[in-house]
Structure 1
Amino acid sequence: MEIFNHNSNINFLGMRKFSIGLAVLLMLASIVLIATRGLDYGLDFTGGVSAEVAYTQPVAIGDVREALAKAGMEHAVVQSLGGTREVSIRLQPTQAMMDDGGKVNLDKVSDVIGKALHASRADASIKSRSSVSSQVGDELRSDGVIAAIFVIVGIGLYLWIRFERRFAIAALATEVHDVLLTLGILVLMKREFDLTVLASVLAVIGYSINDKVVVFDRIRELFRLARKAEPVDVLNRSINTTLSRTIITSLFTGITMAALYFIGGPVVHGFAVTMLIGIVVGTLSSIFVASPILLWLGVSKKDLMPQTKENPELARRP
């Protein structure tokens, strides 16, 4: 199955000055957005209160969320606890949940949530409630940053061993580009950043590098097959021959994420939206950014030929 002709000859490298300039500009804009506006961290990172609620009859998640919104708790996170009669509620504490010293009072938490739910259903009962401090959120935030750096560096080391150092450098540069642009768009859209979004950012890193490895593998193959290999021609040929595969993979992954967004419910909206952004950004960077960086780094046929070591024992043989 092909969208583009396998033998097409679109001059992607001819646009390299424009594509790299635009990529750098978008990266700088993303850094400015993140530095000035900052990510809109969710309850997983900022802390808050949580409660487990049991119903005697089945209840819809949307009904619980609507009852809380009517009581002024619009941004509450409501999740099912493995059935239709128990739900978990997480939200930022309101003033009515605080004591005179400004600390969260769990008894008041139960009262406020209980009154909000009883206004629509009388069979709701609070099973447990707890408070999560912002210190836990700070630890999660730092762990998430470390995880992202570890993944990117680990991928770079793998590509250094699997291909060649120029490929590793190009991959690291484009991965940083993809992550920054994805986060910048999230900030621009004012999307909440929680653990599901963090998980999707890590998934974006893996998805993006998969696209680039396919192109890199074709580059190495064509360099080794060509007798007189001009780097620009080989890189262009590699992008063109893998273009259908890249677009089809991105298209079907995007369809899956769209289905997750429309059918999966509000809990997975952040994951689906972030993946959709990352798929678009990662696909474009595979076509317009990674290969120009390789060309700028000076990749050549000599760098990709199999290395053989001289064996003195074999040299003495007739």
Structure 2
Amino acid sequence: MKLLKLVPDNTNIDFVRLRGWAFGLTMLLSLLAVGLTVYKGLNFGVDFEGGLMIEERFRQPPDLDRVRAEVDRLGVGEAALQQFGDPNTITIRLPVQSGGDEGATNAAVKKVETALARTFPGAEFRRYSTVSGKVSGELIRNGVLAVVLAVLGIGLFAIFRFEWQFGVSTIVAIVHDLLMTLGFFALTQFEFDLNIVAAVLTIIGYSINDKIVIDDRIRENMRRYRKMEMREIINLSVNETLPRTVMTSVTILLALGALLFLGGHVLRGFTAAMILGIFVGTYSSIYVSSSLLITLGLRAEPEGGAARPGRGGMENAERVGPRN
């Protein structure tokens, strides 16, 4: 039985040749992502904003102004409305109720449910969630801390595992991936909650996994082909790991695609973030992280230099010609 190969064995793409364009595109997209995040902001969910969120489904797309007017007259606070998943489903976000206890929250939910059912026949109450302002502040702090510590830990690991250039290039690539994710959520205004923080950490994990595989192959080839230029070593290493990168990305995208279409609107933001992360993580591994090593001055070990621990004695091998 013939094995499926998405990338031919003799693939020899000159990725480094496009590094100037890649760096320019990366800088442009990063600035756009920052601009979008600052200008439009993120649509924080109740997890981060605090307050009460009610999900209501109508028989047909409702007039949002009419829904808002109906909720505002109940005296439960100023309402913020947003379509959720489909035009018939609306999320109603309200401030923390006076007293902040479960009784006040249940009373507010009951008021909204009764009023909307009376004004919009067939309206169906789906669910509600509530978070206090103090808890939401702690969640924001812990979420940011988790992401920052993950990025720093990964950078330190790359520095001690390889060379300082690998650590710097890895951190730059991961920051790029994070900015792309934030810009995407600022553009689409998908709800940004704890599920998305989990997605961001998962994206970091996938991205670093791909980068470490490529970096490890680059280090091996630096010892194997001591006379080869760094540009050739990086191209060779990326081409050698390309089949694994493509196969991993495709299989994950198949699973995420099924989750996107069949998982329901609750998981749509999480799945969209993961799909975006696969694309930007693969791009940054190939065009940003690897090519940046040249700019940072990484060089292959000189012939006859002291060999560092490696695998299978490849440190002392001479160049016998590039592999395709």
When the two structures are superposed, what TM-score results if normalisation uses the length of structure 1?
0.77
2:16 matched to which residue of 1? 13
Pick aligned residue for 1:72 from 67, 84, 89: 67
Secondary structure class of the residue paired with 1:176: helix
1:152 matched to which residue of 2? 151
1:56 matched to which residue of 2? none
Deviations 1:20-68 (A, max 9, x none): 11101111111111111111111211122268xxxxxxxxx9xx63479
Q: CA deviation at 1:306?
A: 4.2
The 1:251/1:130 distance shift into structure 2, 3 A limit, reads: closer
Structure 1 contact 7–241 (Cα < 8 Å) conserved:
no
Pick aligned residue for 1:42 from 45, 68, 74: 45
Structure 1 contact 204–278 (Cα < 8 Å) conserved:
yes
Structure 1 contact 67–117 (Cα < 8 Å) conserved:
no
Deviations 1:272-295 (A, max 9, x none): 000011111111111111111111
Secondary structure class of the residue paired with 1:154: helix
The 1:203/1:98 distance shift into structure 2, 3 A limit, reads: closer
Letter in 2 for 1:163: F
Deviations 1:54-91 (A, max 9, x none): xxxxxxx9xx634798693864889xxxxxxxxxx984
2:173 matched to which residue of 1? 174
Secondary structure class of the residue paired with 1:277: helix
Structure 1 contact 65–76 (Cα < 8 Å) conserved:
no
The 1:269/1:296 distance shift into structure 2, 3 A limit, reads: same
Pick aligned residue for 1:26 from 24, 29, 37: 29
Structure 1 contact 211–246 (Cα < 8 Å) conserved:
yes
The 1:278/1:131 distance shift into structure 2, 3 A limit, reads: closer
Query: Mind listing any 5+ residue stretches in structure 2 that lack a counterpart?
Result: 69-80, 310-324
Secondary structure class of the residue paired with 1:4: coil
Q: CA deviation at 1:185?
A: 1.7
Letter in 1 for 2:26: A
The 1:146/1:68 distance shift into structure 2, 3 A limit, reads: farther
Distance between the aligned counterparts of 1:91 and 1:30, measured in 2? 28
Moved more, 16-25 or 130-139: 130-139
Letter in 1 for 2:108: K
Query: Mind listing any 5+ residue stretches in structure 1 that lack a counterpart?
Result: 52-60, 79-88, 309-318
Letter in 2 for 1:112: V
Secondary structure class of the residue paired with 2:52: strand
Q: CA deviation at 1:227?
A: 3.8
2:210 matched to which residue of 1? 211
Letter in 2 for 1:307: R
Matched positions, count: 278
Letter in 2 for 1:93: L
Structure 1 contact 34–183 (Cα < 8 Å) conserved:
yes
Distance between the aligned counterparts of 2:306 and 2:226, measured in 1? 12
Q: Give the percent of matched residue pairs that are identical in Structure 1 and Structure 2.
A: 37
Matches within 5 A, 1:163-312: 163-302=162-301, 306-307=307-308
Letter in 2 for 1:3: L
Structure 1 contact 182–277 (Cα < 8 Å) conserved:
yes
Q: CA deviation at 1:136?
A: 2.5
Secondary structure class of the residue paired with 1:16: helix
1:92 matched to which residue of 2? 93
Q: CA deviation at 1:93?
A: 2.1
Structure 1 contact 30–184 (Cα < 8 Å) conserved:
yes
Letter in 2 for 1:48: G
Distance between the aligned counterparts of 1:299 and 1:98, measured in 2? 58
The 1:244/1:284 distance shift into structure 2, 3 A limit, reads: same
Q: CA deviation at 1:156?
A: 0.9
Moved more, 13-22 or 189-198: 189-198
When the two structures are superposed, what TM-score results if normalisation uses the length of structure 2?
0.75
Secondary structure class of the residue paired with 1:299: coil
Distance between the aligned counterparts of 1:14 and 1:2, measured in 2? 25
Distance between the aligned counterparts of 1:305 and 1:42, measured in 2? 55
